[in-house]
Amino acid sequence: MREPGGVAIAERVEEYWGWAAAALFLLVTVDLLTTMYAAAVVGAEAEANPLMRWALGQSLPVLVVVNLGATVLAVVVFRGLMETYRVTPASVRPYYGLLIEAWLGLLVAAGLALFANNLSVIVLGESLI
């Protein structure tokens, strides 16, 4: 099945998954590693996210399980979103696609912002926010 621009729905969904993977890499992997380093520099109590602050005080396996749980939850929710995109009527699918693209763009931007903030904490000793 093709959309008005000639792009197959499966191709579009695959592209969305690529952007979702990039966002998850930034929001989970990069954030976890830089947060751990920042916590070593300024202390875990400086972490703004209360769940992450708690997890930083636990053992490494607990910290990893918390982050894996967040990743699995995000993937399950995104899979559901992609299923709704597939069954959305063709007349509204392009608009729905734009919303998904905007949301994914915001997630990637948030991941980059968190990375920049963590680097600021590591290098300068203070948060950008």
Q: What is the pLDDT of residue 129?
A: 84
Q: What is the pLDDT of residue 4?
A: 52
Q: Does pLDDT of 1 surpass 80? A: no
Q: How many CB atoms lie within 10 A of CB 112?
A: 14
Reduced to 3 states (helix: H, G, I; strand: E, B; else coil), residue 2 is strand
Residue with tokens 């995109």: 85
From CA 47, how far away is CA 56, in angstroms rounded?
9
From CA 89, how far away is CA 92, in angstroms rounded?
6
Q: What is the pLDDT of residue 127?
A: 87
Indicate the range of 2-11, 46-55, 113-122 predicted with least confidence: 2-11
Where are the alpha helices (H) located in 1-129, listed in sequence order? Answer: 9-24, 31-42, 50-56, 60-87, 93-124
Q: Does pLDDT of 3 surpass 90? A: no
Give the alpha-carbon dihedral of 120, 124, 125, 129, to 10 degrees: -40
In the chain, what percentage of residues exceed pLDDT 70?
95
